[in-house]
Amino acid sequence: MRQTPRVVLCLGLPGSASTWIFNVVTQMHGMPRRSLLTGYLDRSFDEFLQAIADSEAAIDTLIIKSHQADASLHRYVAEHRAPCILSVRDPRDCVVSLMERFDFAFDSALAAVAKSCHALLAFASLDVVLLRYEDRFFRSGQTISSLYRYLQLAEAVDQDKLLFLNGQSAVERFISTFDHFPPGRLARHGDDEYDKVSHWHRRHFGDGAVGKWRTRLNPEQIAIASESLADALLRFEYLADSSDGNDRRDRSDGSVRRVADSLSAHAAQSVAEGVAGSAGSDVPH
Domain ranges in the chain? 6-273
* 6: helix, strand or coil: strand
| pLDDT at residue number 34 | 62
Taking the C-alpha atoms of residue 166 and residue 158, their distance in angstroms, rounded to an integer, is 12
HSE-CB at 282 with a 13 A cutoff on CA atoms is: 12
Give the architecture-level CATH label for domain 6-273. Answer: 3-Layer(aba) Sandwich (3.40)
Of 192, 193, 221, 216, the closest CA to residue 102 belongs to 192
Per-residue pLDDT reduced to its tens digit, 68-125: 888 999 999 999 999 999 999 999 999 999 999 999 999 999 999 999 999 999 998 8
Sequential pLDDT tens for the chain (285 residues): 457 788 999 999 999 999 999 999 999 998 666 688 898 998 889 988 888 888 877 888 999 999 988 899 999 999 999 999 999 999 999 999 999 999 999 999 999 999 999 999 999 888 899 999 999 999 999 999 999 999 999 889 999 999 999 999 999 999 999 999 999 999 998 889 999 999 999 999 999 999 999 999 999 999 999 999 999 999 999 984 455 444 555 554 433 334 444 554 444 343 333 222 223 445 554
Per-residue pLDDT reduced to its tens digit, 82-95: 999 999 999 999 99
Whole-model pTM?
A: 0.85
In the chain, the largest separation of any two C-alpha atoms, in whole Å, equals: 59
| pLDDT at residue number 72 | 92
